[in-house]
A = this chain, B = another copy of it.
Amino acid sequence: MTDRPKTIDEIDTPAVLIDLDRAEKNIARAQAAADAAGVKLRPHIKTHKLPFFAKKQVETGAAGITCQKIGEAEVMADAGLTDIFLPYNILGRQKLERLKALHGRVTLSVTADSATTIEGLAGTFRDAAHPLKVLIECDTGGGRCGVQSKEEALALARQIDAAPGLFFGGLMTFPAPGKAAQAEAWLAATRDLLAANGLACETITSGGTPDMWRKPEGQVVTEYRPGTYIYMDRYQIAKGAATLDDCAATVLATVVSRPTATRAILDAGSKALTSDTLGLPDYAELVGEAGARVIGLSEEHGKVELPAASRLKVGDRVRVLPDHICPVINLYDQVYLISGDRVVDILPVAARGKLT
């Protein structure tokens, strides 16, 4: 459509900018923290959805990657990633067939929290050349998926252990934010019950960027699956897990209207920023514009509340920091890798929109 931009000034809006230096710094720091804590790092690619960064994470020391959808894992396997964890209940003929095909190409592991899921996996992998590692998902307080008690975990671990094509791999949780200690106690008690019944947990894996810098008590968790840490966002700042200078991803937008002294409208609405606030009181802030916050979104308009003294005018270009960067990335076919004001590369978001 247009010439390939060489600097930020030449990029049409809205567009996602990824500060490569910051992202690399975030990758290195998380790996160092995991190494210091004695846990494996298995980054969740949901945040970036890019083979480029998945490979960089593994080169920096990650034990493998985490994907949520088979379609994402297929993209990553095609790009050369070899160790992929899918912490999800895989159900249905099509998905099980794709899972089996993928298992023939890379080291794969999955989770289950019901007998039904395990039956599907067991039927599919009955004759597999090598067995599939299956972990049990535990609801340690997050209130999403997962078994509700260690006794339920024991029953499912026995079911996995008895299935010829599967092997029991351990425990997985997505803890409630700020409840990492509670999650660890839950996992330790379950691990101990299983061990007493002859079932060892090779892997105990937890996730979530906000708690990743925390020093774990004891050595319950063996692996950590943070996603957002590579880009960081406003939510992570609110949780104390990042500073503004750590944030690697912003949305470049243009002021298209200045209807009143305290209102600006951006060409970035919910189709460019999502409506996902993770509970924060507004949607985004304008970097370098003190007090400028995105307080309303329609699909193609972002409504900014400005201090009355703001000099922002129609045509000005701004950098927008969203509350939650992960779903934002899923809206873009490509992202601009930048270093300072220079465009280093334009990367297709290869694992975008993989719904199955």
Check B272–A274 contact: CB distance below 8 A: no
| Residues of chain B with a CB closer than 8 A to A330's CB | 271, 299, 331
Is A14 an interface position by the 8 A CB rule?
yes
Is A7 an interface position by the 8 A CB rule?
no
Which A residues, 72 to 92, have Cβ-Cβ distances below 8 Å to chain B?
A: 88-89, 91-92
Which A residues, 308 to 356, have Cβ-Cβ distances below 8 Å to chain B?
A: 313-315, 326-327, 330-333, 353, 355-356
Query: Chain A 35-57 against B: per-residue CB contact (8 Å), 1 yes, 0 no?
Result: 00000000000100000000000
| Residues of chain B with a CB closer than 8 A to A265's CB | 144-145
Check B257–A114 contact: CB distance below 8 A: yes
Check B272–A275 contact: CB distance below 8 A: no
Smallest Cβ-Cβ distance to A352: which chain B residue = B353
Nearest CB on B from A254, distance (A): 6
When A143-B303, A259-B146, A274-B270 are in contact, do A92 and B327 touch as well, CB less than 8 Å?
no
| Residues of chain B with a CB closer than 8 A to A89's CB | 256-257, 314
Check A92–B146 contact: CB distance below 8 A: no
Is A116 an interface position by the 8 A CB rule?
yes
| Residues of chain B with a CB closer than 8 A to A333's CB | 353
Is A197 an interface position by the 8 A CB rule?
no
Query: Chain A 257-283 against B: per-residue CB contact (8 Å), 1 yes, 0 no?
Result: 111100101010011101111000000
Check A270–B259 contact: CB distance below 8 A: no
Is A214 an interface position by the 8 A CB rule?
no
Check B356–A14 contact: CB distance below 8 A: yes
How many residues on A have C-beta within 8 angstroms of the other chain's C-beta atoms?
64
| Residues of chain B with a CB closer than 8 A to A313's CB | 116
When A98-B1, A116-B315 are in contact, do A303 and B13 touch as well, CB less than 8 Å?
no
Q: How many copies of this chain does one complex carry?
A: 2
Is A300 an interface position by the 8 A CB rule?
yes
Smallest Cβ-Cβ distance to A227: which chain B residue = B299
Residue of A116, A148, A254, A333 with highest tally of chain B CB at under 10 A: A116
| Residues of chain B with a CB closer than 8 A to A27's CB | none
Nearest CB on B from A141, distance (A): 12
When A271-B355, A330-B331 are in contact, do A145 and B91 touch as well, CB less than 8 Å?
no
5 of the cross-chain contacts (CB-CB < 8 Å) are A2-B94, A15-B356, A143-B263, A144-B259, A144-B303
Besides the contacts A139-B259, A299-B327, what 12 more A-B pairs have beta carbons closer than 8 Å?
Answer: A2-B94, A12-B356, A46-B299, A89-B256, A89-B257, A91-B254, A113-B257, A114-B314, A148-B260, A272-B355, A274-B274, A275-B277
Interface residues of A (CB under 8 A from B): 1-2, 12-15, 46, 68-69, 88-89, 91-92, 94-95, 97-98, 113-114, 116-117, 120, 137, 139, 143-148, 254, 256-260, 263, 265, 267, 270-272, 274-277, 296, 298-301, 303, 313-315, 326-327, 330-333, 353, 355-356
